[in-house]
Amino acid sequence: MIIELVNTGTELLLGQIVNTNAPFLAARLNELGFSVLYQTTVGDNRERMKNVLKTALERANIVITSGGLGPTQGDITKEVTASLLNKPMYLHEASAEQIQRFFTEHRLCMTDNNLRQAMMPEGAQVIENTCGTAPGVIVEQEATGKVIINLPGPPHELAAMFEKSIVTYLTKRFGVQGAIVSRVLRTYGLGESALEERIKKYISAQSNPTLALLARNGEIHVRITARAASETESVQLINELEGQIQPLLNEYIFGIDEETMEKSVGSLLLARKLTIALAESCTGGLVTSRITDVPGSSQYLLGSIVCYSNTVKTRYVGVPEKIIASKGAVSQETAECMAQGIKERFQTSIGVGITGIAGPDGATENKPVGLVYIAIDGSAGKVCYEHYFKGTRLDIKHRTALATLNHVRHYLLTI
């Protein structure tokens, strides 16, 4: 069954709010085995919305809308749906009573326009809203068997209605659709084109499972998606293809699905019973923040110092003044001293030192914006990496943090 999601609301087109309904619906529908092949966003304009819904019905079996079921004049999704399917609107008494009850229970004054939410297309199946006042509706097109489902816009209302009522309806109405399962191999260190070159024969030959490369904030994700009669069969198909791809990308794969770089680093530290401390300059504590995003990180992260000034580098981290004077605050020597100093100060297994020029100021002829040194000190010895990152100040900080975590990950793999 092919599904199209139609997201309504001019505020979406203006970028005033982020649409979280579409990814929620797409993910859940794919889990149920339905193929979400189209997504459209349209503003609160009757003619444009009608054209969008008409097109959606022509190419999909099921159209699911979100938004536009409220009490105001701009909430027109139900009315447009009814008009398209030639369904007259009527007052659904049970919904009107439920809306009145909601206002009474919350001790609010109900204005007359709220009854617009109780107006329903004739013959529609009304879906109770247990989290708000706007009911949802399911309208079937008799001649074709196609369906339009109108869901409310507020994400918590939409999610609750979908889980409580729509899942049951779709399963009963269209039967079990099989299982669509995806797995994401998260990689770092290879560009998208270089990564594609390594696995291009599998991309060219793909059918089921399918392969897709996705660039995500400095990472490249390899998504493997399989469809089969059951989740077990889909997973088996994914396992077979992953087994062929994995050796080609082995050193670059740091996580699966939701496993972030910081979670991977934390798992390695825990497995090896090691501790870590960081001295951060240009990243301003960003690496430490990412590490502490992982629950339980206090078991291996003992502390960190944001040593932005040279005084803090020397006084609290132990970088010799003569090193900064002769080599500069942004240098391999300073980064190495920071890693060693923080390790000794916190008595950890591993110390990390990060120093660089995030810009836009502070560069010299020999030290451009984006120059970063990342040093690690531990039982496997002392190492330092030089990078030249491009982008804005925030880009450079983000890329430095990601590179630092990846270097720590590789360092831990050698221990």
Q: Residue 40: which of 60, 27, 30, 28 has the closest Cα? A: 60
Q: Say what the pLDDT of residue 193 is.
A: 96
- 20-31: burial string, b at 16+ Cβ within 10 Å, e else: ebbeebbebbbe
Predicted confidence at residue 179, as pLDDT, reads: 87
- Tell which CATH architecture fits domain 261-413: Alpha-Beta Complex (3.90)
CA–CA distances in Å: residue 130 to residues 97, 159, 167, 171, 244: 13, 11, 15, 21, 47
Residue 127 parent element (H or E): strand 125-127
Per-10-residue mean pLDDT, the chain, length 415:
96 95 95 94 97 98 97 94 97 94 89 93 96 96 95 96 97 90 96 96 94 94 94 96 97 96 98 98 98 98 98 98 97 98 98 97 94 98 97 97 98 96
Q: What are phi and psi of 99, to 5 degrees?
A: -65, -45
Q: What is the pLDDT of residue 15?
A: 95
Fold (CATH) for 2-174: Molybdenum Cofactor Biosythetic Enzyme; Chain A (3.40.980)
pLDDT of residue 138: 98
Residues 6+ apart with CB under 8 A from 86: none
Domain boundaries, the chain: 2-174, 179-256, 261-413
CATH code of the domain made up of 179-256: 3.30.70.2860
**pLDDT at residue 57, rounded to an integer:** 97
Per DSSP bridges, beta strands 89-91 and 381-388 are unpaired
**CA 351 – CA 345 distance, rounded (Å):** 9
Query: Residue 176: what pLDDT?
Result: 82
pLDDT of residue 316: 97
Q: Please answer whether residues 336 and 317 qualify as being in contact, where contact means their C-beta atoms are separated by less than 8 angstroms.
A: no
pTM attached to this predicted model: 0.80
**What digits encode the pLDDT tens for the residues 359-378?**
999 999 999 999 999 999 99
